[in-house]
Amino acid sequence: MTAPNCLVANDWICWDYVTSRSQELTDATVEHIWLTGVSVLIGIAVSVPLALLARRGRRWAAPVLGLTTLLYTIPSLAMFSLLLPVFGLSAALVVTGLVLYSLTILVRNVLAGLEAVPEEVREAARGMGYGPGRLLWQVELPLALPALLAGVRIATVSTVALTTVGSIVGKGGLGNLIAPAVNSSFKAQVLTASVLCVLLALVADLLLLGVQRLLTPWTRAGAGGRSVTRATTSTATPAATSVSGAEPASASAPAKGA
């Protein structure tokens, strides 16, 4: 007697489901990646100005950090419901919600990275003629990269998970497969979509780890008793290298051609 098809038997592991729904799985995965990527990129763009504002002092840090923390405590279903009157049933609703959730992680990590930059490095840069903008882009942000990229990794993995909640408005990537499958007890679809979601998070984290190692080689150059901070101040970028390696006497003199 022929064994029943795994779809008919409603098995958890069913290759027939994967082959017969491959296009549906691909479309859901692509949408999931798109929603996650756009949300994290916008979150980074918003978090840097907020972190710079919070760095201006306690007067600004308290409301900025407090607001981002408050946003993170709002349940995802409630967040999307609150945004519904503004954005309607659209991908913009999901992206906005995911961006708001990412801010509490990204802002704190960017702020921590900026505050970890040694003050003597800033003073040396100013002595060499670096203005506020040049100091930020060529010295502070490069030296803050380890903390910033660590925050991006955490925010990305968190966003991969939260994206599934977008299924309540039909824009949840793999969540669009998980939610109805749970309601109908479609085991193969629940397991396959869930495994793909986990794999997305793992792959994204590994890729970002590779980017972090590529962009911050000085964090692995702490041999010989040097601290990560000392290595950071000496090898971050050509601009940061010249700043951190400046002699005290020359740091107080204006740079030629600046």
Cα(first)–Cα(last) distance of the chain, in Å? 85
pLDDT band at 243, cuts 50/70/90? very low
pLDDT value at residue 87: 87
> Looking at residues 89-94, what average pLDDT do you find?
89
Residue 254, in any domain of the structure: no
Residue 101, in any domain of the structure: yes
Residue 257, in any domain of the structure: no
Cβ proximity of 35 and 171 under 8 Å: yes
Residue 137, in any domain of the structure: yes
Residue 107, in any domain of the structure: yes
Q: Which amino acid, 6?
A: C
Would you tell me how many other CB atoms lie within 10 Å of the CB of residue 237?
A: 17
Q: In terms of residue numbers, what domain contains 237?
A: 21-244
Answer whether residue 84 shows pLDDT above 50: yes
Helix (H, G, I), strand (E, B) or coil at 122: helix
Residue 99, in any domain of the structure: yes
What's the CATH number where 153 sits? 1.10.3720.10
Into how many domains does the chain fold?
Answer: 1
Answer whether residue 59 shows pLDDT above 90: no
123-139 confidence digits (pLDDT tens): 888 888 878 778 888 88
Residue 256, in any domain of the structure: no
> How far does Cα 49 stand from its chain's mean position?
15
- Angle between the N-to-C axes of helices 58-73 and 91-115, in degrees from 0 to 180, rounded to the nearest 10: 140
The residues, any chain, with a CB within 8 Å of residue 64's CB and separated by 6 or more, are 50, 51, 53, 54, 107
Answer whether residue 181 shows pLDDT above 90: no
| Higher-confidence position of 241 and 36 | 36
In this structure, of 49-53, 97-101, 112-116, 190-194, the range with the lowest mean pLDDT score is 112-116
